[in-house]
A and B are shown apart, each in its own frame.
Chain A
């Protein structure tokens, strides 16, 4: 069964550094998403992406965040200057019949 993959599984970075989280969605899916989940809290929507542009974004997704589909397979989330409060699990998802989520990247900002 096709699945969404994410790399790395765990990323540790220092405050103020840039990070790029990578996702390989299921190949024939056209809608892509990023969500995050701070430890012990709800899963929160960040952004949706369709036809090479952002279609919706939440108020969490400020100017520090950006998304890109640099080639036909990868979908990336960039955080330009990380803050301590960006520490969370970040989930990529894509939609065919329903949304399918990846296993997540745990981002730790120190």
Chain B
């Protein structure tokens, strides 16, 4: 599966929007973009996924660049409970996921 690049860490103020970027310049046409997050001492948790079009769900929005070489996870209003490591993962099967180091999000009260 293609590699993704994410910043090691980001900070956000509580109740402000957060944009978490992910670069995936070697993405193939059939790769889905998946976002998971891992809260401290917990298992990874599904956030959102998409293929080409922007996606919204109750947790977040996913903005996918037109050339699909990058994407951005948007948390519309960060809360303290959103402090976690966020992983951007590419997979065309939805099966084995290869996690990178992700972005550690700190939310400042």
Contacts and interface: CB of A to CB of B under 8 A. Distances in A.
Interface of A: 4, 31, 33, 35, 42-45, 48, 55-56, 58, 91, 93, 95, 98-104
Interface in B51-109: 87, 94-101
Nearest to B99: A43
Nearest to B45: A101
Interface of B: 34, 36, 38, 42-46, 49, 87, 94-101
Contacts of A55: 95
Interface secondary structure of A, over-half rule: strand
B40 to A, nearest CB: 12
Contacts of A91: 43-44
B94 A95 contact: yes
B9 to A, nearest CB: 15
Contact of B43 (A31, A48, A104): A104
Contacts of B45: 101
11 contacts: A31-B95, A42-B101, A45-B96, A91-B43, A93-B44, A95-B94, A98-B34, A98-B94, A102-B43, A103-B42, A103-B43
Given A98-B34, A99-B36, 18 more contacts: A33-B95, A42-B99, A43-B44, A43-B99, A45-B96, A45-B98, A48-B96, A56-B96, A91-B43, A91-B44, A93-B44, A98-B49, A98-B94, A99-B44, A99-B97, A102-B43, A103-B42, A103-B43
A42 B3 CA distance: 14
Nearest to B42: A103
A42 to B, nearest CB: 5
Contacts of B100: 42
